[in-house]
Amino acid sequence: MKDKELTKHCSGCDTTKPITAFYKRAAAKDKLDNFCKDCRKSLNKKNPPKYDRAYMKAYMAKWKEKNPDYMKGWYDRNPDYASNYYQKYQKPKDQAKRKNKKQM
């Protein structure tokens, strides 16, 4: 039974490896990562963290490419929201810009 504690099955490469081949993870039940270090390394390359900025940016760009009409029609579908947004955020910004110009 003791041997079982010292190894762990990696769900990435489907191999049983010594626990030293795994990263520690406090949140996990057994305090160890489900993927071995090798798998984790290649995983990180392929799938960067979900909310990584560069990743999200690339994801959104791809998504917009696939849905070019969605953004175009958005303002038509949400005229109230669009004008509210303008009143709340864009207008003050525009006014501030004008003010700054005057001062210069």
- Residues near Zn ion (CB under 5 A) are 10, 12-13, 36, 39
CB of 35 to Zn ion, least distance (A): 5
User: Is 93 strand, coil or helix?
Assistant: helix
CB of 43 to Zn ion, least distance (A): 9
Number of other residues whose CB lies within 10 A of the CB of residue 22: 23
Q: Which is nearer to Zn ion, 12 or 82 (CB)?
A: 12
CB of 47 to Zn ion, least distance (A): 15
